[in-house]
Amino acid sequence: MSVDEPLTASSRRIAGTDIGAVAFGCWRLTDPDVGRCADLVESAVDCGMTLIDNADVYGLDWGGRGFGTCEDMLGDVFRHRPGLRDRVVVATKGGIVPGVPYVSDEAYLVSACEASLRRLGVDVIDLYQVHRPDPFTHPARVAATLDLLVDRGLVRAVGVSNHTPTQTRALQAHLTVALATTQPQLSAVSLDPLRDGTLDLCAETGLLPLAWSPLAGGRLATGDDVAPAVIEALDLIASEHGVTRAVVATAFVLAHPTSPVAIVGSQNSERLRELARASAVKLTRAEVYRIVEASDGRPLP
Are 124 and 158 in contact by the 8 Å Cβ rule? The answer is: no
Are 174 and 136 in contact by the 8 Å Cβ rule? The answer is: no
Measured distance CA(167)–CA(32) in Å, rounded: 37
Cα 143 to its chain centre, rounded Å, is 21
Whole-number Cα distances in Å, 116 to 93, 275, 280: 9, 28, 34
Count Cβ atoms below 10 Å from residue 62 Cβ, excluding itself. 15
Alpha helices in the chain (DSSP H): 34-46, 69-80, 106-120, 139-151, 165-172, 192-195, 198-205, 219-222, 228-241, 245-254, 269-276, 285-296
Whether 58 sits among the annotated catalytic residues: the reply is: yes
| Main-chain phi, psi angles of 201, to 5 degrees | -65, -40
Are 255 and 5 in contact by the 8 Å Cβ rule? The answer is: no
Q: Which of 58, 102, 108, 128 is catalytic?
A: 58
Measured distance CA(274)–CA(47) in Å, rounded: 9
- Report the catalytic residues: 58
